[in-house]
Amino acid sequence: MAITLKVNGKEQSYAGDPDMPLLWYLRDEAGLPGTKFGCGKALCGACTVHLDGTAVRSCQTPMSAAAGFSVTTIEGLSDHGDHPVQRAWQEVGVPQCGYCQPGQIMSAVALLASTPKPTDADIDSAMSGNICRCGTYDRIRKAIKRAAGVAA
């Protein structure tokens, strides 16, 4: 029984192992490598995507659980890389190696959708599931505030 889901607006069908995490489906099957593997245990947030707008760790979301949902990945966040959060990330110069940043951005977008004017505590709470080994945390805070239009 094939699983159907929508990925970045397109209907997709999947007939493989229903236990396969959405992460590996996106990376190995759907040709969308922007979503990153970091730990496979929902500890680092590198694999964060949106399921019907909610941020989830795709490494812990089996395909069976993604069935019927609309998935948004970093590739589908905006047509021209100009989502306000992406713009803020570029303007503040957040990325160092850049590897964790798709996950960081997806978490930040979800935060701002639910909390348009986040406080420092809101940011720390929403973003603490996303690890950045390069240590770009100070700029992540600044970029989120910039995207939200609140004073840094």
Which positions lie near other proteins, rule CB under 8 A?
16-17, 20-21, 24, 27-29, 32-41, 43-44, 46, 73-75, 77-78, 81, 86, 89-91, 93-102, 105, 120, 123-125, 127-141
Smallest distance from other proteins to CB 25, Å: 8
Smallest distance from other proteins to CB 22, Å: 10
Smallest distance from other proteins to CB 136, Å: 7
Give kind and range of the element (H or E) at residue 55: strand 54-57
Give kind and range of the element (H or E) at residue 3: strand 3-7
Exposed, middle or buried by CB within 10 Å (0-12, 13-18, 19+), for 119? Answer: exposed
Scan for tokens 């998935």, then name that residue: 71
Smallest distance from other proteins to CB 117, Å: 18
Please identify, using beta-carbon distances, which residue of 47 and 51 lies nearer to other proteins.
47
Distance CA 73, CA 88 (A): 18
